[in-house]
Amino acid sequence: MANKKKKIDEQDTPKIISGDDIDIEELFARLKEFENKALLDRLKVIESIIAGIHKSQIADRVLLKDIKQHISYLSLAHEELLNNIGAVETSSFHEDEEESEITQSEESDKKWN
């Protein structure tokens, strides 16, 4: 037990560091190393965030393609409906249009005579 007390007493005494004990070049080297490790850790976090964003963009791109495909199907169906409905109405519309042009031309002829 005496050995344990000596070890505890030795660890409890604070070590006093003087200016002679500090090597400035070593201090800067350690600071640079710490900064590099911190930057690498930050880079790993940024890479994981970018990977997540890229993954979500790919998923969004797939959804967008599906939406575009559905829109093209709807557009095609809409055009077919208009053609089926408009085929009957279009011919009557053109006849009405031609009749109105004829009456307008007759009226304009009358005005000039």
pLDDT digits (tens, 9 = 90+) for 26-68: 888 888 999 999 999 999 999 999 999 999 999 999 999 999 9
Residue 79: CB atoms within 10 Å: 11
* Mean pLDDT (the chain, rounded): 77
Rounded to whole angstroms, the Cα distance separating 18 from 10 reads 19
Model confidence, pTM: 0.44
Rounded to whole angstroms, the Cα distance separating 44 from 37 reads 11
Looking at per-residue pLDDT, the higher value among 24 and 59 belongs to 59
pLDDT higher than 60, residue 76: yes
pLDDT for 88: 47
pLDDT higher than 80, residue 74: yes
**Secondary structure of the chain: what % helix, strand, coil (to 5)?**
90, 0, 10
